């Protein structure tokens, strides 16, 4: 099942967002007051699917083109959990280009970091861009997941059962900020309004991780192109390692890493600019289509 959070009419509508099931080019919009996707996630997958099925007879059919797709998740337990260097080709393409930060050999265990939830925007929203804040804006196509059943010290063999669903993310990063603050990545990954997610949540029962293929274009030029099978640490291993001694809760979001092709690793390096259009696609999960847009991020708000 594909679950979308939508606005009917224009994006500035004052009506509360609605939950919808995506079927081809149509939306089955659940009645006002139906559980949000955040609510459904916290029910766990089986109970959520049952709750939606019960409401479908009262759903309104609306053309997908007549609604605005919003970020499918809006309520976060904590910072967004992320994985670095999870594609071997990406790790080595950046070797010698990380300002002396990071190891020279592929790590034996996954690298985790977090980014603040204020980064999240919708699948067609503008990506905030402020050249006064950073001169090195980069893109990262990623498969993301949301936990539906919490747990600690999960085992790889069963860890995937804890996933509610999957979606697309673009982990837009500011490489100079990433290097300036002690070698940790929080600051260079947490600029407001810079990470589109969506376009909906595809529930885990309908996702074949081995069939997922990531791509990203900037102004029509293909920059990233990889199968998710190229992950150095597959999703079950990530969940086992991350949850060891650390409880994952329903609603937690995990990004699973980006493949090669990032702008900062190119020769010469190429960074995002105001007006660039980025299309981030994962076959089977959908696409994000966002424009980099000049925004004042450095004045007090």
pLDDT tier for residue 109 given thresholds of 50, 70 and 90: very high
Would you say residue 189 has pLDDT above 70?
yes
* pLDDT exceeds cutoff 80 at 156: yes
Whether residue 102 is predicted with pLDDT greater than 70 in this model: the reply is no
Which residue do the tokens 């409401």 mark? 55
Gap between the Cα atoms of 149 and 160, Å rounded:
10
Residue 98 or 90, more confident: 90
pLDDT in tens, 266-275: 999 999 999 9
Asked if omega into 268 is within 30° of 0 (cis), the reply is yes
* Residue-level pLDDT at 100: 61
So what's the pLDDT on residue 106? 83
Question: 27 near 64, Cβ under 8 Å?
Answer: yes
Token pair for residue 221? 């030029």
Quickly state the pLDDT bin for 181 (edges 50, 70, 90).
Answer: confident
| Residue 203: pLDDT over 60 | yes
The pLDDT tens digits for 123-143 are 999 999 999 999 999 999 999
Q: What percent of the chain has pLDDT over 90?
A: 88
Structure confidence by residue, pLDDT tens digits, 229-261: 999 999 999 999 999 999 999 999 999 999 999
pLDDT, mean over the chain: 95
- Long-range contacts made by residues 55-60, C-beta under 8 angstroms, separation at least 24? 55/30, 55/31, 56/21, 56/28, 56/30, 58/30, 58/31, 59/20, 59/21, 59/28, 59/29, 59/30, 59/31, 60/28, 60/29, 60/31
Question: Which domains does the chain show, CATH number per domain?
Answer: 2-70 (no CATH), 80-294 (3.90.850.10)
Q: What percent of the chain lies above the pLDDT cut of 70? A: 96
pLDDT in tens, 12-70: 556 899 999 999 999 999 999 999 999 999 999 999 999 999 999 999 999 999 999 99
d(CA 174, CA 193): 13
Cis status of the peptide bond prior to 86, with omega within 30 of 0:
no
pLDDT at position 97: 63
Comparing C-alpha atoms, which of 6, 22, 82 is closest to residue 286? Answer: 22
Cα distance between residue 278 and residue 264, in whole Å: 16
User: Would the pLDDT of 85 be above 70?
Assistant: yes
């Amino acid at each position: 099942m594909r679950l979308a959070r939508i606005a009917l009419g224009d994006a500035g509508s004052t009506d509360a967002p609605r939950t919808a099931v995506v079927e081809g080019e149509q939306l089955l919009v659940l009645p006002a007051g139906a559980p949000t996707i955040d609510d459904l996630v916290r029910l766990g997958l089986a109970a959520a699917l049952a709750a939606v099925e019960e409401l479908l007879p009262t759903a309104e059919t609306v053309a997908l083109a007549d609604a605005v797709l919003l970020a499918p998740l809006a309520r976060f337990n904590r910072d967004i959990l992320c994985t670095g260097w999870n594609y071997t080709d990406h790790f080595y393409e950046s070797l010698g280009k990380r300002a002396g930060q990071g190891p020279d050999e592929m790590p034996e265990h996954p690298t985790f970091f977090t980014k603040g939830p204020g980064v999240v925007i919708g699948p067609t929203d503008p990506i905030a861009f402020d050249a006064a804040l950073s001169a090195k804006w980069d893109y990262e196509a990623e498969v993301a997941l949301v936990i539906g059943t919490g747990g600690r010290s999960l085992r790889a063999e069963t860890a995937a059962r804890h996933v509610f669903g999957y979606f697309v993310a673009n982990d837009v990063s500011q490489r100079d900020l990433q290097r300036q603050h002690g070698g940790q990545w929080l600051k260079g990954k947490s600029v407001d309004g810079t990470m589109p997610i969506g376009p909906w949540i595809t529930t885990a029962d309908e996702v074949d991780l081995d069939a997922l293929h990531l791509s990203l274009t900037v102004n029509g030029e293909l920059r990233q192109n990889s199968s998710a099978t190229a992950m150095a640490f597959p999703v079950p291993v990530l969940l086992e390692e991350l949850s060891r001694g650390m409880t994952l809760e329903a609603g937690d979001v995990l990004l699973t890493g980006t493949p090669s092709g990032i702008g900062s690793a190119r020769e010469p390096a190429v960074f995002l600019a105001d007006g660039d259009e980025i299309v981030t696609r994962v076959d089977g999960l959908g696409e994000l289509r966002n424009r980099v847009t000049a925004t004042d991020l450095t004045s007090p708000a």
